[in-house]
Amino acid sequence: MRKIQMVDLNGQYQSIKEEINSSIAQILETSAFINGPEVQSFQKELEDYLGVKHVIPCANGTDALQIAMMGLGLKPGDEVITSDFTFAATVEVIALLQLTPVLVDVEPDTFNIDTEAIEKAITPKTKAIVPVHLFGQCANMDAVMQIAQKHNVYVIEDNAQAIGADCTYQGKPQKAGTIGHVSATSFFPSKNLGAYGDGGAIFTNDDDLAHVIRGIVNHGMYKRYYHDVVGVNSRLDSMQAAVLRAKLPRLNGYNKKRREAALKYSKALEGQPNILTPKLASCCTAEGSNCNCHVFHQYTLRVLNGKRDALVDHLNEKGIPCGVYYPIPLHSQKAYKDERYHEVDFEVTNQLVKEVISLPMHTELDNEQIDYITETIIKFIE
């Protein structure tokens, strides 16, 4: 059996090596390292793939979130509601911009933001909601958008983990990241559409907002050397764009491979009394389904008998890497603690951080590896 990896970037590279190497060599020859034609082409191709009017590439996913918030003109003191159970980048940029993060609990089965908790957290100061499509599955965008419309606040989708996923929105599939006023994604190497370095992008269907954001990423310049607003320097470089251009036409295939591996995990582990397999949108459970309702950035189980940490150790001993995303709720992190928070409001997150375990998930997993992983888990957990 091949050695099991949490993410197999090299295996995937080997399968597209010639194409990648030749496009990178070409960039070296033309030396258009920044804002070259590769970046322009990638932007256009991603707009077409997503069905969104504007893609604005930038340096990473954290910048993308920050720039989205700057573009909306959020001001210090404005409250921004987001999930207690996500990667810290989501809340970090809110705090950095001196906005007030308002963390709320998540749903126990999808791990996504609890929309009733959003409704409860709304105040006259609320200016935006940031749903995170955690682990590759959309938050409940129908409910999020309804709440946002009712209270006249913005929606910024954190789409770093769900590029290519279809949300069910108003009864129809629509690409994650194209529903809110603006969204942010990451091309960090291990993400579903990963570069070979850092990268990110902002998406929006709003022409005016797109214009504002294109200036912000470039030092607030709309006309050369005229700085109308305070901006940042956040660029995607041409080599990363070339890698992403090679991978974008393969993204649906990559996501399909992830989904197939996930369904195999779930089939083998279903019915184990101490394990909860991830809940899928119903369209994904259909045999041979082609939909991308869940693109499995992570495949995450809940271990119900208090043996999560022991399982992590056991798997590591057996040569199976795994991860705990995330081990500490954001409201308990030193940087984001606040007197406003009450433990009773975070029942689900407080439980999840003790129970979750993410298994190896990438495009190169084979049946032998999946069988070995699930058999090892079942033997230990029974």
Ligand X SMILES: *Cc1c(COP(=O)(O)O)cnc(C)c1O
CA distance 265 to 279: 12
Query: In the window 167-186, what residues touch ligand X (CB under 6 A)?
Result: 186
Task: Give catalytic status of residue 267 as yes or no.
Answer: no
Q: Which residues contact 240 (CB under 8 A, 6 or more apart)?
A: 187, 195, 196, 197, 198, 199
Cα dihedral 56, 67, 91, 276 in deg (nearest 10)? -10
Shortest approach of ligand X to residue 157 CB, angstroms? 10
Q: What DSSP assignment string belongs to 294-330?
A: B--SSEEEEE-SS-HHHHHHHHHHTT---B-S-SS-G
Does the footprint of ligand X cover residue 110 (CB under 6 A)?
A: no
Which one of 82, 90, 234, 292 is in contact with ligand X (CB under 6 A)?
90
Does the footprint of ligand X cover residue 215 (CB under 6 A)?
A: no
CA distance 197 to 204: 24
Inter-residue contact 184 to 157 (CB < 8 Å): yes
Q: Which region among 98-106, 154-162, 201-209, 281-289 touches ligand X (by CB under 6 A)?
A: 154-162
**Of 82, 78, 165, 162, whose CA–CA distance to 125 is shortest?**
78
Q: Which is nearer to ligand X, 64 or 381 (CB)?
A: 64
Cis omega (within 30 of 0) on the bond before 299?
no
Which one of 158, 166, 237, 364 is in contact with ligand X (CB under 6 A)?
158
Choosing from 44, 120, 172, 191, which is the catalytic residue? Answer: 191
Half-sphere exposure of residue 358: CA atoms within 13 angstroms, side-chain side? 19
Q: Which region among 22-30, 153-161, 308-316, 357-365 touches ligand X (by CB under 6 A)?
A: 153-161
Task: Supply angle C-alpha 139, 245, 61, rounded to 5.
Answer: 40
Does the footprint of ligand X cover residue 374 (CB under 6 A)?
A: no
For 27, the enclosing helix (H) or strand (E) is helix 9-30
Shortest approach of ligand X to residue 170 CB, angstroms? 24
Does the footprint of ligand X cover residue 160 (CB under 6 A)?
A: yes
Does the footprint of ligand X cover residue 129 (CB under 6 A)?
A: no
Q: Which region among 12-20, 41-49, 58-66, 316-324 touches ligand X (by CB under 6 A)?
A: 58-66
Q: Which region among 6-14, 85-93, 100-108, 264-272 touches ligand X (by CB under 6 A)?
A: 85-93
Q: Which is nearer to ligand X, 158 or 166 (CB)?
A: 158
CA distance 203 to 261: 29
Binding mask 13-52 for ligand X (x = CB under 6 A): ----------------------------------------
Does the footprint of ligand X cover residue 196 (CB under 6 A)?
A: no
Shortest approach of ligand X to residue 276 CB, angstroms? 22
**Of 115, 200, 217, 120, whose CA–CA distance to 158 is shortest?**
200
Q: Which region among 81-89, 104-112, 302-310, 363-371 touches ligand X (by CB under 6 A)?
A: 81-89
Does the footprint of ligand X cover residue 61 (CB under 6 A)?
A: yes
Cα dihedral 303, 358, 350, 121 in deg (nearest 10)? -130
Does the footprint of ligand X cover residue 188 (CB under 6 A)?
A: yes
**Of 259, 206, 192, whose CA–CA distance to 68 is shortest?**
206
Instruction: State the angle between helix axes of 238-247 and 37-50 in degrees (0 to 180), rounded to the nearest 10.
Output: 40
Q: Which is nearer to ligand X, 19 or 92 (CB)?
A: 92
Does the footprint of ligand X cover residue 192 (CB under 6 A)?
A: no
**Of 115, 112, 119, whose CA–CA distance to 86 is shortest?**
112
Chain contacts with ligand X (rule: CB under 6 A): 60-62, 86-87, 89-90, 132, 158, 160-161, 186, 188, 198, 200
Residues that are catalytic: 191
